[in-house]
Amino acid sequence: MGPIDLQSVQKALDARVGKTQYVHLETTNGAYAAHREEGAMTVCAYIRNGRIEFERGTIVGDGPYRVGLKMQIGWVYAEGLTDYEVDEKGRLLMAGYDSEGRLAIALELSDEPFAM
């Protein structure tokens, strides 16, 4: 994984338009957020292997970046993305890491289901 290159990611999104995709979307502030800081709330959400098809996918921003996937009847959206790779399985992996190397958000697209 390396810093997001806008054009490369846009190309990878365009290549997936109209194709069935498995999506992994998550955001988290860590399971110990409320334990470490009183008054803080631990939050996390993730969808693994949601099956979607989008008609338009766009990456925007100056870094960290935002990605929106427009589906026929809805949207998938992620903000705070910093790094990406198209891995050896052809999957588009995008993530937002903070300065400590901790993952804060991930948005991934694959032709095949992600491993469980």
- DSSP, residue by residue, 45-86: EEEEEEEE-EEEEEEESSSSEEEEEEETTEEEEEEEE-EEEE
Q: Could you say whether residue 44 binds other proteins (CB under 8 A)?
A: yes
Indicate whether 30 belongs to the interface with other proteins (CB under 8 A): yes
What does the alpha-carbon distance between residue 35 and residue 27 come to, in Å, rounded to a whole number? 18
Position 97 contacts other proteins (CB under 8 A): yes
Looking at the Cβ atoms of 70 and 86, the one nearer to other proteins is 86
**The tokens of 19 are what?**
């194709």
C-alpha pair distances (Å), 91 with each of 21, 42, 94: 10, 29, 10
The site map against other proteins for 51-70 (x = CB under 8 A) is --------------------
Interface contacts to other proteins, rule CB under 8 A: 1, 24, 26, 28, 30-32, 35, 38, 44, 46, 83, 85, 87, 91, 93, 95, 97, 100-104, 106, 108, 114-116
